[in-house]
Amino acid sequence: MMTDLFTLDAEVRTDLGKGASRRLRHANKVPAILYGEGKESISLTLEHKNVLRAQLEEAFYSHVLTLNVDGKPVECLIKDMQRHPFKNIIMHLDFIRIDAKHAIHTNAPIHFLNEENVVKLGATVAHHFTEIAISCLPKDLPEFVEIDLADLEVGQTLHLSDIKLPKGVTSDELAKGEDHDQAVVTANAAKAQSNDDEDEAAAPEAAATE
């Protein structure tokens, strides 16, 4: 079933412009564009119900998708999705073509494991990022990156260089140099109530006794 969600039928459209897009949405279609790999951009339409179902899966945003463009399969990634501000409607999609031999740059969601272990220590966990910019060949593209917090100590911060990425996957930021080794997650010590706060709380009680 998951495979079916990553294969979408699309039709080439020649009727362009805002008016045409509006008519498509009224017909339960989603306007889209396919570009990249040095080829000409193609305007497309997809069935709204199929896109709406597929985008519920987190992996939809980091998985290699197959668009059947008038019956011809094209491998691509979703690069942008425009949603209606308050209705459950997908307004527009941007797809970028990929080539099995060319590295791709995309974002992979982060899954934080064993976070409850840190909380039991009395710490609060601060997520500085919820996704990570990566590069890899399409065959190595992970659906997500796992970060195990089981051994994270109070006051400790994990940086990009501490994250073990899957084989064949590299961090776009670390590729820029050591000064781009950004913090990803921190275990902050819980704030203890200060003596000043306790004194202030006790003062009104003393006044009431007098």
pLDDT in tens, the chain (210 residues): 344 778 999 999 876 666 655 666 667 889 999 999 989 999 999 999 999 999 999 889 988 999 999 889 999 999 999 998 988 889 899 999 999 999 999 999 999 999 999 988 888 999 999 999 999 999 999 999 999 999 999 999 999 999 999 999 999 999 999 899 999 999 998 775 544 555 555 555 544 444
Residue 129 maps to a domain: yes
Same domain flag for 12 and 91: yes
Q: Helix %, strand %, coil % for the chain, to 5? A: 25, 40, 30
User: What own/partner pairs with CB < 8 Å and gap ≥ 24 does 99-102 have?
Assistant: 99/37, 99/138, 100/75, 100/137, 100/138, 100/139, 101/137, 102/37, 102/137
- Asked, for residue 196, whether it belongs to a domain, the answer is no
CATH number of 118's domain = 2.170.120.20
For residue 157, tell me if it sits in a domain.
yes
Q: Give me the domain span that covers residue 139.
A: 105-189
Taking a C-beta distance cutoff of 8 angstroms, is the pair 119, 125 a contact? yes
Residues 93 and 112 in one domain: no
CATH number for the domain spanning 34: value is 2.40.240.10
Listed residues 98, 133, 167: the one ending a domain: 98
Residues 81 and 160 in one domain: no
pTM over 0.85: no
Q: Which of 19, 23, 43 shows the shortest CA–CA distance to 32?
A: 43
Domain termination site, one of 98, 129, 148: 98
Same domain, yes or no: 54 and 114: no
